Amino acid sequence: MLVPSSGQNTGMRIRDRLVVWIAIGLVLLTVVWALRDLRVSSPAPTQPTILALTPEMMSLVTGDESLVEILTKPGCPVCHIIPGIPGATGQVGPPLVLGTTGPQRLNNPGYGGQAKTVHEYIVESVLEPQRFVVQGYPEHTMPTWYGSKLSALALEKMASYLERQTEGSLSR
């Protein structure tokens, strides 16, 4: 039986290690080569889906409802602060304190509507929201079809309530 000398044993170990390292290198090279076309792609940025509010989504407000319902069913509290209406804390449109702000708007040089009274101004603002947009608030935010979802009675009750609200009403 041949027993390798210690010199041969060391040479073999080095050669074995070299073969192992070459094999590992080849495996890594193969993996890198196979993955060269795979790109980690982040998903394309997407715009959030904004659900457009349509007239079909709103039920008709008849005017037989409570005042709170007349103002909340069409979604007024989402955009407006309305004194006396629970949850009416919106920040998109101006606070509906038209007992205070209505006369100011009617006298505003930029106002081009037909209304002569605050009551008429409120009705006009619901039926034709783009007629006068309060400075500092976004244009084309209030849907123009809101008036078609309110009966004349509902609109009358809404205007009667809002024309009596003042800035002092906000603190109550």
What pLDDT is recorded for position 83?
96
Q: Which of 99, 90, 92, 154 is nearest to 126 (CA)?
A: 154
Q: Contact at 8 Å (CB) between 95 and 80?
A: yes
Judged on CB neighbours under 10 Å (0-12, 13-18, 19+), 86 is exposed
Q: What is residue 14's predicted lDDT score, i.e. its pLDDT? A: 80
Give the highest mean pLDDT range of 71-75, 92-96, 138-142. 92-96
Where does the pLDDT of residue 3 fall: very low under 50, low under 70, confident under 90, or very high at 90 and above?
A: low
Least trusted range by pLDDT, from 2-16, 57-71, 97-111, 130-144: 2-16
Q: What pLDDT does residue 24 have?
A: 77
Segment 41-63 mean pLDDT: 65
What are 68's two structure tokens? 């709170």
pLDDT in tens, 108-167: 999 999 999 999 999 999 999 999 999 999 999 998 888 888 999 999 999 999 999 999
- Model confidence, pTM: 0.66
